[in-house]
């Protein structure tokens, strides 16, 4: 409950030097009259419910040293002149608000600045290159802002920070910056203890000179091997390198370092034997999930045993050959040599043939091959299109294999990260209701531009979206004829089965983040196949580290109409977010109405539309296509008893109730996906029983 607002009369106390009113549940706007306090040194208004823009008069109090407005509902821009009008500023903290615009370059004029923190806002880039002037700077928090511009030099500003010799904490999490990490990162302040670069699109090898830091580098595109000097420090180090593209073996030298408290190397491409001592002896502090070629390690890691070195067969030495040549008639020797040569030749051909077949099966395709297979990526072969990619039907030669080619929109901001996320996810999951990936392509096109694509097994019946909402008379005819009620129920069960697998049976839970009809393909048997893991997130398995929770932060993770309400308010990504999307999908599947239909407004949604009908008019909201189809099933309606009709209505009621429960506004009110799956299976059994009874009469 809001206690009140800041009284404008405070602006009359001209001698006031400290105004600290944090954590008082105050609401309303900040009075412009506060700007009259010309002797004010400290202004603390954090953790209230203050609204609107900060009055420009406050940015003109030249005596101000501490300006803290964290955790409110404030908006607007940080003035371009802030470093000039607040020259004595030592602390500026505006985290957890709704500020937008760019970081002023004049900030570098506040030479005494010690802490600057604007996390969790909507500040955009580029990041000023002159921040190195702030030689007193100790803490710099830019995290959870869309600062990236999509240019290769996004991260180059770090080089200027080498002059900030007092810097201790540098937080750049989820700011959407890309490019190659400058080597100057190793020359940052010797006092630096924490470096947060996770959830960006940085692509470079790991610098060897950053071993004395608490590192958070997960969810990037770091490549190459892990330097043996990482973790070489005498300081409560935490090294988080999960979800990158690191290769090679884990340096055995890391086992000798006693100061690493957490080491997370999950979801990379590491290989070889895992050490068993030091940090590697504790499965709660060392994590290496999703590295398919790792072996050995302690039993709790559940890795396969490393292969034992095979003994090579002794080769016939030259002296023995000479002795044989002397003691055995020459003809026999020649015969033996000839037979041996024939054997080796045949063996070599068989081995070559096998290798070639294996390589052909798993090789990465070129841009030219995909260009030819899709008829120059023609619009006639376009299956579907999303924010980050377009999907084309193609035919690979030789063999005439039908495929679906997802071509990355390489210039779309965030597309590269989406491509990597999908690669990582698909590398670690297997389920009968997932679209099967065949291979990938990462090369250059005919104009020498980057080209990336994923190649999937072709699914003949297209996407569910087109069956629920036909775009043409031909599609409409197909949907009326083939997509029957029991098939819709099977589709719902298939998708729930995938989510149950992703959330509960993958070791580390995977959140899909974009469940919707256009991401569900239908196989030739109308089996549902879930696709598009470009927004997928792995839930961190490090407990007690709130910063490890995957957050939607600035960008809403998902599609309008299907995205969970909490994501729109910066809530954490969770399994219940997928459950919400699934609930909307279930309601759409049986009502035939999109959540973005024009009939729905802010106060009246697909969820409330169905919920209102649950009490007395369930059959009135059923998709008319289903009703028409039901009437054609062997006298389903006309020749059945009243009891069967009631049972049919009961099945619909149960399905809609599950959909409404899953799409509840508050996530703690939503069903668990395990219960959803078992509930739908029970409904299917009951519905089949009703059909069988009606056909027997």
The reported pLDDT for the residue numbered 470 is: 83
* CB of 105 closer than 8 Å to CB of 81: no
Look at residues 450, 476, 459 and name the one whose alpha carbon lies nearest to residue 391: 459
Residue 562 scores a pLDDT above 90: yes
554 against 678, higher pLDDT? 678
Confirm whether 603 is a catalytic residue.
no
* CATH architecture, range 220-299: Alpha-Beta Horseshoe (3.80)
Give the range among 84-98, 312-326, 649-663 with minimum mean pLDDT. Answer: 312-326
* Percent with pLDDT over 70 in the chain: 81
355 token code pair:
């290798």
Top-ranked range on mean pLDDT: pick from 100-114, 231-245, 532-546, 636-650 = 100-114
pLDDT tens figures, 488-514? 999 999 999 999 999 988 767 899 999
The reported pLDDT for the residue numbered 498 is: 94
Residue 426 scores a pLDDT above 60: yes
Q: Which member of 199, 514, 532, 623 is catalytic? A: 514
* CB of 194 closer than 8 Å to CB of 170: yes
Which H or E run contains 410?
none
pLDDT tier for residue 319 given thresholds of 50, 70 and 90: low
448 against 684, higher pLDDT? 684
Please state which CATH class domain 462-696 belongs to. Answer: mainly alpha
The reported pLDDT for the residue numbered 41 is: 97
φ, ψ of residue 195 to 5 degrees: the values are -130, 115
Residue 569 scores a pLDDT above 70: yes
Look at residues 376, 264, 658, 665 and name the one whose alpha carbon lies nearest to residue 493: 658
The reported pLDDT for the residue numbered 638 is: 41
What is the number of other CB atoms lying within 10 angstroms of the CB of residue 504? 12
Report the alpha-carbon angle 634-639-645, nearest 5: 100
Residue 293 scores a pLDDT above 70: yes
Q: What is the DSSP letter of 272?
A: E
Give the integer Cα–Cα distance in Å for 225 and 437: 27
Residue 545 scores a pLDDT above 50: no
316 against 656, higher pLDDT? 656
* CB of 93 closer than 8 Å to CB of 117: yes
374 token code pair:
């899709």
515 token code pair:
């469940």
The reported pLDDT for the residue numbered 534 is: 84
* CATH architecture, range 356-458: 2-Layer Sandwich (3.30)
48 token code pair:
């209230």
Give the integer Cα–Cα distance in Å for 638 and 181: 71
67 against 222, higher pLDDT? 67
Q: Which residue has the tokens 């729109």?
A: 568
* CB of 530 closer than 8 Å to CB of 498: yes
The reported pLDDT for the residue numbered 339 is: 58
Top-ranked range on mean pLDDT: pick from 229-243, 537-551, 613-627 = 613-627
pLDDT tier for residue 20 given thresholds of 50, 70 and 90: very high
Q: Which residue has the tokens 């405070």?
A: 10
Give the integer Cα–Cα distance in Å for 49 and 43: 16
The reported pLDDT for the residue numbered 40 is: 96
- So where are the chain's domains? 220-299, 356-458, 462-696
* CB of 484 closer than 8 Å to CB of 634: no
167 token code pair:
């810097």
Mean pLDDT, residues 268-278 taken together: 91
The reported pLDDT for the residue numbered 591 is: 94
Give the integer Cα–Cα distance in Å for 517 and 324: 75
Residue 691 scores a pLDDT above 60: yes
Residue 344 scores a pLDDT above 70: no
The reported pLDDT for the residue numbered 568 is: 78
pLDDT tier for residue 687 given thresholds of 50, 70 and 90: confident
393 against 696, higher pLDDT? 393
Distances (CA, A) of 505 to 72, 344, 500, 501, 679: 39, 47, 7, 5, 19
pLDDT tier for residue 310 given thresholds of 50, 70 and 90: low
The reported pLDDT for the residue numbered 553 is: 36
Give the integer Cα–Cα distance in Å for 512 and 532: 8
Give the integer Cα–Cα distance in Å for 533 and 437: 12
The reported pLDDT for the residue numbered 686 is: 79
The reported pLDDT for the residue numbered 554 is: 36
Top-ranked range on mean pLDDT: pick from 361-370, 531-540, 546-555 = 531-540
Look at residues 658, 676, 649, 335 and name the one whose alpha carbon lies nearest to residue 499: 676
Contacts (Cβ under 8 Å, ≥6 apart) of 253:
228
414 token code pair:
């965030």
Residue 517 scores a pLDDT above 50: yes
Report the alpha-carbon angle 473-477-481, nearest 5: 170
pLDDT tier for residue 548 given thresholds of 50, 70 and 90: very low
* Percent with pLDDT over 90 in the chain: 38
pLDDT tier for residue 311 given thresholds of 50, 70 and 90: low
What is the number of other CB atoms lying within 10 angstroms of the CB of residue 284? 10
Give the range among 90-99, 559-568, 681-690 with minimum mean pLDDT. Answer: 681-690
Instruction: Indicate the average pLDDT of the chain.
Output: 81
Task: Give the total residue count for the chain.
Answer: 697
Mean pLDDT, residues 392-399 taken together: 86
642 token code pair:
């009243």
Contacts (Cβ under 8 Å, ≥6 apart) of 127:
103, 142, 147, 154, 157, 177
């Amino acid at each position: 409950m809001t206690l009140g607002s800041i009284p404008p009369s405070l602006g009359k106390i001209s001698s006031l030097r400290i105004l600290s009113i944090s954590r008082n549940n105050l609401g309303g706007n900040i009075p412009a009259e506060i700007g009259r306090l010309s002797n004010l040194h400290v202004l603390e208004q954090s953790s209230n419910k203050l609204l609107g823009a900060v009055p420009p008069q406050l940015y003109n109090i030249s005596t101000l040293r501490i300006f803290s407005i964290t955790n409110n509902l404030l908006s607007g821009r940080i003035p371009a002149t802030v470093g000039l009008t607040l020259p004595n500023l030592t602390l500026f903290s505006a985290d957890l608000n709704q500020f937008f615009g760019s970081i002023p370059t004049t900030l570098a004029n506040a030479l005494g600045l010690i802490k600057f923190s604007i996390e969790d806002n909507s500040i955009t880039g580029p990041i000023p290159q002159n921040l190195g002037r702030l030689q007193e700077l100790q803490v710099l928090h830019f995290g959870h802002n869309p600062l990236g511009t999509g240019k290769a030099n996004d991260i180059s500003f770090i080089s200027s920070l080498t002059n900030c010799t007092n810097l201790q904490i540098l937080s750049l999490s989820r700011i959407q910056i890309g490019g190659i990490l400058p080597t100057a990162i190793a020359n940052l302040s010797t006092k630096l203890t924490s470096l947060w670069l996770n959830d960006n699109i940085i692509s470079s090898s790991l610098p060897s000179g950053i071993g004395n830091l608490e590192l958070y580098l997960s969810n990037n595109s770091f490549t190459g091997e892990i330097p043996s000097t990482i973790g070489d420090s005498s300081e409560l180090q935490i090294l988080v390198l999960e979800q990158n593209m690191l290769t090679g073996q884990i340096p055995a030298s890391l086992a000798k370092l006693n100061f690493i408290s957490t080491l997370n190397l999950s979801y990379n491409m590491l290989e070889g034997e895992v050490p068993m001592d030091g940090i590697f002896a504790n499965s709660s502090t060392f994590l290496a999930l999703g590295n398919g070629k790792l072996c050995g390690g302690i039993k709790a890691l559940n890795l396969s045993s490393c292969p034992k070195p095979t003994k090579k067969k002794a080769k016939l030495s030259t002296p023995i050959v000479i002795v044989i040549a002397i003691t055995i008639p020459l003809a026999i020797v020649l015969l033996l040599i000839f037979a041996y040569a024939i054997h080796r030749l045949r063996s070599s051909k068989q081995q070559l043939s096998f290798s070639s077949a294996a390589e052909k099966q798993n090789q990465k395709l070129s841009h030219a091959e995909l260009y030819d297979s899709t008829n120059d990526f023609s619009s006639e072969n376009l299956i579907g299109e999303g924010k980050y990619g377009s999907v084309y039907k193609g035919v690979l030669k030789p063999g005439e294999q039908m495929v679906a080619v997802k071509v990355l929109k390489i210039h779309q901001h965030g597309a590269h990260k989406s491509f990597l996320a999908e690669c990582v996810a698909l590398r670690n999951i297997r389920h009968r209701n997932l679209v099967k990936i065949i291979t990938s392509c990462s090369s250059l096109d005919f104009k020498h531009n980057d080209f990336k694509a994923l190649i999937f097994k072709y699914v003949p019946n297209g996407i569910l979206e087109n069956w629920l909402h036909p775009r043409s008379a031909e599609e409409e005819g197909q949907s009326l004829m083939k997509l029957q009620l029991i098939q819709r129920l099977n589709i719902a069960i298939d998708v729930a089965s995938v989510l149950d697998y992703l959330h509960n049976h993958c070791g580390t839970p995977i959140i899909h983040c974009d469940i919707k009809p256009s991401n569900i393909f239908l196989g030739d048997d109308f089996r549902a196949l879930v696709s598009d893991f470009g927004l997928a997130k792995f839930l961190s398995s490090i407990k007690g580290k709130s910063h490890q929770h995957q957050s939607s932060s600035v960008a809403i993770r998902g599609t309008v109409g299907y995205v969970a309400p909490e994501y729109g308010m910066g809530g954490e990504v969770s399994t219940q977010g997928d459950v919400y999307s699934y609930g909307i999908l279930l309601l759409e599947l049986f009502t035939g109405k999109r959540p973005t239909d024009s009939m729905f407004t802010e106060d009246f949604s697909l969820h409330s539309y169905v919920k209102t009908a649950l009490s007395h008019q369930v059959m009135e909201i059923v998709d008319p296509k289903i009703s028409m189809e039901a009437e054609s099933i062997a006298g389903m309606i006309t020749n059945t008893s009243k009891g069967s009709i009631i049972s049919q209505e009961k099945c619909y009621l149960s399905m809609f109730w599950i959909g409404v429960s899953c799409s509840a506004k508050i996530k703690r009110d939503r069903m668990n996906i395990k219960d959803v799956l078992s509930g739908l299976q029970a409904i299917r059994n009951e519905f089949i029983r009703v059909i069988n009874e009606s056909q027997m009469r």
